Amino acid sequence: MQTVLVAGGAGYVGSHCCLALAEAGFRPVVFDDLSNGHREHVQWGPFEAGDIRDRARLDAVFAAHRPVAVLHFAARIEVGESVKNPGAFFDNNVGGTITLIEAARRAGVNALVFSSTCATFGDPVILPMPETHPQAPLNPYGRSKLMVEQALADYDRYVGFRSAVMRYFNAAGADPQGRIGEWHEPETHAIPLAIQVALGQRPHFTIFGDDYDTRDGTAVRDYVHVLDLADAHVSALRRLLSGGASESYNLGTGAGTTVRELVDGVGRAVGQALPVQVAGRRPGDAPVLVGDNAKAREQLGWRPSRDLDAILSSAWRWHQAQALAGR
C-alpha cells in the first residue's frame, strides 16, 4: 500500500480526499496544525501534528512515513482576512508551501497535488472559465495561490518536480454517510449559512445583490460536490505516479446555480422555505463564476457525478447531525 502525505488533511476538502484515497487503496498520513482542521476528521490513517513552515518537523514526518507523493491543502483561505492581513497569507500559503516542497524533494518525493482556486483568475472574461483564462487575482488570498502555481511551474521547468494544480470553484456537500462534512469557524460559506437559518441558528439568509445581469438577478456560482473533487485528486495523483507531466485543471461542473436557486434548493432539502433578506452587492463579487472542466474530462476521465440536490441533502444531514450533537 502506497503512503501519501496529506498536508491540511484534517480540513474540509482534505479530509474528504483522505476518504477517497483510502477507498482507492492508498494510506493517507495527515499532517495538520489543526488551526482550521479538526482532529475528529482524521479517520483513514495516521495523524501527525505540525506546521508546513516547520522544516525539521516535516523532515521527521517524511522520514517516518516515506510517502510517494504529497497532497497539499494546508492554507489560509478567508478572502476578507487576506485583505486585512496579507502578510500572514503570503507567509503560510507561499512560504509554507515552499518549505513543504523542499522537504518533499529532500525525501526524494517528486509529485505534489496542489489545492488551488478559481480566485487566481479574478473577474471572468470567458465563460465557462478554461485553464487558459487570464489570471488576475482580486485579493491576497487568490494572489498567494497564484504565486504557488507560478513557483510550481518553475520547480517543474528547472528541477523536474512535477505537480497537478487543482483549481476549485465552490466545494460543497458532505460524506453521505455523515462521517465528515463542512465545518468552518467562523462559517462564511453559502450552503452552511443557509442551513444554519433552517436550524434556527440565524434569523435569515442574506442575498448580496439581486440586480446582476443573470437569469434571476442574483450571482451565479459553480457548486461541486466535495467527493467529486476528491475523485479528481485521486485521478491526478495516479497520473503523476504513472509519470504524467505537470498540469493544471479547473474543477467545476460547467453549469452554474444562482443564489436564489441555491436557497430554494436548501429549502427543498430541509422541507421549509427560508427567510431571506436582500442587501447590496459586495465589492469584488463577480456576477458569474463557472468552470470549464473539459481538460479534466479529457486527461483525468473526471466528470462530477453528484448534482445540486445530492450536495444539499448530504450537507443538510451533516449539519443537522452536528446540531443534534451540540456542535
Catalytic residue numbers, as ranges: 141
Q: Residue 51: count other Cβ atoms within 10 Å of its Cβ.
A: 17
- β strands within the chain, DSSP E: 3-7, 27-32, 47-49, 69-72, 111-117, 162-168, 170-172, 205-208, 220-221, 223-225, 247-251, 257-258, 276-279, 288-289
Q: Which DSSP symbol is given to 117?
A: E
The CA angle 4-120-185, to the nearest 5 degrees, is 65
Nearest to 55 by CA among 106, 108, 17, 110: 106
The CA angle 262-127-238, to the nearest 5 degrees, is 85
Cβ–Cβ under 8 Å, residues 21 and 70: no
